[in-house]
């Protein structure tokens, strides 16, 4: 249950609990809280465990330079660290840290890993049960791994053909495609969850974690089938906030492990990543002729420039772009040198 906010000690004078409480009162997402605290802790360790109140602009510049020059971090990483430190000093400690002078990290354009349609089929063929359906949804709906695992039964709308993502990246909701080919398997998965939930209720459990204050607003919702996770965990565990035993959703590490095994078994020599199915979803829609704005909305990108990266990895052959060597006559092609790799 590492995506559920842990309870904080009441009236603690310690730095990190006070910072976490401030972030929560500001209404930031839990993932943002985790990221900010992580980088602020690393900033403190970099400066010999000195308290942030003893540090200032010069120390912030030194750390940002260290990330860019010594650690060779990406632009995005440096930007995230800067946001965390700006929050720490400007909002939490209420100190001015304007006019920072530091070496910006180099911008590296990294093209996404994309599986072909044939490769997706081969990977799926080496998966079974829940994990097969999970990967089919990653590819069929363009979901992030965390979005997939956080799906509740109520988020599937078979009537409209929509799949609703709640609190995605940036804490935004969106609607994406509910693949019609997966409807029978999804209905079967709901039946499985219904049986698991009935057994949990019979054993005195059955309440699921609800976001924000919904548990107080809708007291009975936590025990309803609609709010149960579509892919529940195999075992019960205590809620880190209350200690109540609940059934959370499946863990991302288990899904990642199954994908690694399936990619290896399929003989595909590409990185085995859950996010690659989301990249493949976007790339294949672009190859099918869908416009960037539609794909942007389905992916939930705030900026269309993020979606434009997929224009660099589309299948050029499907667009009528032919390599010059492919235009050579058969006679010329046969005359090309053949290298003996065994030599």
Contacts of 176 (CB under 8 A, 6+ apart): 141, 142, 143, 162, 163, 165, 298, 299, 300
At 92, give phi and psi (nearest 5°). Answer: -85, -50
| C-beta neighbour count of 127 within 10 angstroms | 20
Token output for 40: 């602020």
CB 127 within 8 A of CB 262: yes
Q: How much is the CA Rg of the chain, to the nearest whole Å?
A: 24
Q: Could you say which of 47, 205, 270, 275 is catalytic?
A: 275
- CA gap 130, 164 in Å, rounded: 19
Annotation marks residue 310 as catalytic: yes
Entry field: residues in the chain = 343
Annotation marks residue 275 as catalytic: yes
Annotation marks residue 217 as catalytic: no
Q: Could you say which of 169, 174, 261, 270 is catalytic?
A: 169
- Report CA torsion sign: 245, 246, 248, 250: positive
Chain centroid offset of residue 192 CA = 26
From 319, 308, 320, 284, select the one nearest 111 (Cα to Cα).
308
Residue 267 Ramachandran class (φ > 0 left, ψ -120 to 50 alpha, else beta): left
Annotation marks residue 172 as catalytic: no
Q: Could you say which of 20, 152, 248, 278 is catalytic?
A: 278
Annotation marks residue 278 as catalytic: yes
Q: Could you say which of 144, 246, 248, 279 is catalytic?
A: 144
Q: For residue 281, what is the enclosing H or E element?
A: helix 275-287
Token output for 171: 């804490």
Annotation marks residue 251 as catalytic: no
Catalytic residues: 144, 169, 275, 278, 301, 310
């Amino acid at each position: 249950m590492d995506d559920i906010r842990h309870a904080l000690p009441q009236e603690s004078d310690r730095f990190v609990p006070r910072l976490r409480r401030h972030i929560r009162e500001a209404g930031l997402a839990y993932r943002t809280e985790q990221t900010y605290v992580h980088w602020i802790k690393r900033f403190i360790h970099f400066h010999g465990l000195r308290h942030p109140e003893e540090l200032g602009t010069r120390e912030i510049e030194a750390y940002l330079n260290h990330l860019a020059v010594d650690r060779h971090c990406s632009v995005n990483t440096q930007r995230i660290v800067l946001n965390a430190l700006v929050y720490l000093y400007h909002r939490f400690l209420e100190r001015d840290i304007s006019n920072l002078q530091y070496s910006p990290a180099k911008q590296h354009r990294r093209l996404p890993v994309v599986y072909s349609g044939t490769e997706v089929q081969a990977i799926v063929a080496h998966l079974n049960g829940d994990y097969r359906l999970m990967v089919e949804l990653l590819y069929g709906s363009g979901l992030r791994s965390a979005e997939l695992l956080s799906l509740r039964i109520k988020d599937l709308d078979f009537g409209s053909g929509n799949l609703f993502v709640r609190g995605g990246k940036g804490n935004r909701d969106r609607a994406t495609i509910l693949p019609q080919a997966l409807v029978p398997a999804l209905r079967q998965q709901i039946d499985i969850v219904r049986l698991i939930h009935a057994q949990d209720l019979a054993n005195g459990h059955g309440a699921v974690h609800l976001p924000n204050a919904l548990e107080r607003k809708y007291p009975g919702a936590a025990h309803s089938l609609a709010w149960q996770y579509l892919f529940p965990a195999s075992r019960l565990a205590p809620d880190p906030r209350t200690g109540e035993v609940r059934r959370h959703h499946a863990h991302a590490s288990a899904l990642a492990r199954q994908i690694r095994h399936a990619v290896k078994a399929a003989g595909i020599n590409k990185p085995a990543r859950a996010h690659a199915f989301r990249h493949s979803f976007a790339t294949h829609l672009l190859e099918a002729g869908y416009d960037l704005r539609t794909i942007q909305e389905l992916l939930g990108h705030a900026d269309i420039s993020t979606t434009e990266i997929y224009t660099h990895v589309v299948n050029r052959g499907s667009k009528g772009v032919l390599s010059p060597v492919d235009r050579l006559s058969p006679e010329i092609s046969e005359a090309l040198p053949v290298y003996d790799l065994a030599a």
